[in-house]
Structure 1
Amino acid sequence: MLPPAAEVLLLSAAAFGAGVLNAIAGGGSFLTFPALVYAGVPPIQANATSALAVSPGYLGSTLGFRAELAELPRSRLLRESLIAAAGGLVGAGLLLVTPGRLFSGLVPWLLLFATVLFALGPWLQRTLGAGQDLARWREPGLLAVAVYGGYFNGGLGILLMALYLLSGESRLDRVNALKNLASLVLSLLSVLAFVAAGAIAWRQGLLMMVAATLGGWAGARVARRLPASSVRGLVIATGLGMTALFFAR
């Protein structure tokens, strides 16, 4: 266990950094989850608390794409929101019934998967945006991705963008809008499930929510100055480093 002052400093810095990364390129969970585990929070509780910490950013991102969402049929938005909500609940439920020892063994593999997915993100966007149309698989695919997002948040945004590009969305602004809406809904429902189950470390979680929100505000300003490629490189290096650390553990 860390001394109280060191824990506050570590968690605040990790959450602030996560807010910055999510505002610029994504990958904030690579900081919040390992920081909570290092601070002594059990892995399942750390995963739930990490989801709570980064959740405010999804609301801001969704509001930023209101115009794009307004262009889409409300019936579609409602249907896909319900699917995302159901998947988030299922994923959260699976996490809550997973034995802690088993989840600890899965963590490095989940981190590795999320890191590789993040690294391949630009390639996926270019490749999948080339006119392939698998629209009939959009809703089953959304359910599967939402279950993953409710269980483990890392790499969620890239999976959602790949899904929407594959299913025929050609405009990147709409892809981002749908990605943010689905992330918001499934995150909200999974966090509510974690709260109901008593899986949130509230002292750490509330501190990190504030720090992540401040980081998101700062990240929006930093995004105008830093090359996106440099930030992506930092996220990938962080993800690989955390993966190696958890494999070593």
Structure 2
Amino acid sequence: MNLSAIPHLHFIWLVAASAIAGVMNAMAGGGSFISFPAMLGMGVPPVEANATNTVALWPGQLASLAALHRDVRRDLLPIVGFTCVIGGVTGAETLLHTEQKTFLHMIPWLILGGTLLFGISGPVSRWLRRRAAYHTGERSIPPFQLMLALFPVCFYIGYFGAGGGFLVMTILALFGMDDMHRLNAMKVFAALASNFCAIVTFILKGAIIWHYCLASMVFAAAGGWFGAKFAKRVPGHILRGVVVVTGCVIAGYFFWRQAHTA
């Protein structure tokens, strides 16, 4: 069967990839590994594809936070939110000032880097659980030190983002947050806030391809809500393995394409 003969095949894959990305972001992260290449497949230039993909996935993150809001540490919201504003805007501005060709060459390295983060997330998650077994209660976190540690992560989320949520979890754990549900909720909040600031920047600069964005947005939101509801029912190591394999395959494809188009 010739798949290229199917009408609107790329668009069908775009909306399917958006739904899958929404589920993945809610349950473990890494949804951009699926949705960003699908956006590129529509013929959107790399920088605009990344900006459009960021906007499209944001409602899914909002739906996930709505499902996880009870686990958010409200005492950390002001400092984390402030850092997300600064980092998200700075990262988005840097992206918009990156040449299309330069960003295209960076894509496989960015995806591979995000994949490696997921590759080490298993051992780190087990370390977090061991910490949780020996600590009880919530400890205070120094705000200035937390802001300095989170800023480069929020910058990265505003610039590209894949794997950034896991970095947020790791940093918060190093500062003493032990509860996995709280870590996951704060991960979603930080990604949501950083991406929102990036989105405002992208919209003001006219970097969004809206007819693809809106279609992708609806399915990503549905996937985000579904994924958040069922996040505790799927073994984490299974989903993490799927994310890592997917990221490696996609990064390998972009490396191969660059080698054959150079």
Regions of 4+ moved over 6 Å: none
The answer to whether residue 84 in structure 2 is matched with residue 44 in structure 1 is no
Which residue identity is paired with 1:181?
Answer: F
The answer to whether residue 173 in structure 2 is matched with residue 165 in structure 1 is yes
Q: Using the alignment, how far apart are the partners of 2:233 and 2:62 within structure 1?
A: 24
* Matched position secondary structure for 1:241: helix
Shift of 1:30: 0.4
Query: How many residues are treated as equivalent by the alignment?
Result: 245
Shift of 1:128: 5.7
* Matched position secondary structure for 1:158: helix
Q: Using the alignment, how far apart are the partners of 2:238 and 2:168 within structure 1?
A: 23
Which residue identity is paired with 2:256?
Answer: A
Shift of 1:147: 0.3
Q: Using the alignment, how far apart are the partners of 2:226 and 2:64 within structure 1?
A: 14
Q: Using the alignment, how far apart are the partners of 2:187 and 2:38 within structure 1?
A: 26
In 2 relative to 1, CA 211–195 (structure 1 residues): closer, same or farther, beyond 3 Å?
A: same
The answer for unaligned runs of 5 or more in structure 2 is 258-262
The answer for unaligned runs of 5 or more in structure 1 is none
Q: Using the alignment, how far apart are the partners of 2:84 and 2:236 within structure 1?
A: 29
Q: Using the alignment, how far apart are the partners of 2:169 and 2:161 within structure 1?
A: 14
- Which residue in the other structure is 1:214 paired with? 222
The answer to whether residue 200 in structure 2 is matched with residue 200 in structure 1 is no
TM score, norm. by length of structure 2? 0.85
Residues 227-246 of structure 1: pairs in structure 2 closer than 5 A:
227-246=235-254
Match of 1:29 among 21, 28, 32: 32
- Which residue in the other structure is 1:104 paired with? 104
Moved more, 216-225 or 184-193: 216-225
The 8 Å contact of residues 19 and 219 in structure 2, kept in 1 or not, is answered as yes
After superposition, the C-alpha distances for 1:35-86 in whole angstroms (9 at most, x for unaligned) are 11122111111111111111112222223333333x543xx42122011111
The 8 Å contact of residues 60 and 217 in structure 2, kept in 1 or not, is answered as no
Match of 1:6 among 2, 5, 9: 9
Residues 50-89 of structure 1: pairs in structure 2 closer than 5 A:
50-69=53-72, 72-73=74-75, 76-89=76-89
Which residue identity is paired with 2:81?
Answer: S
In 2 relative to 1, CA 128–220 (structure 1 residues): closer, same or farther, beyond 3 Å?
A: closer
In 2 relative to 1, CA 4–199 (structure 1 residues): closer, same or farther, beyond 3 Å?
A: farther
Shift of 1:122: 2.2
RMSD: 2.4
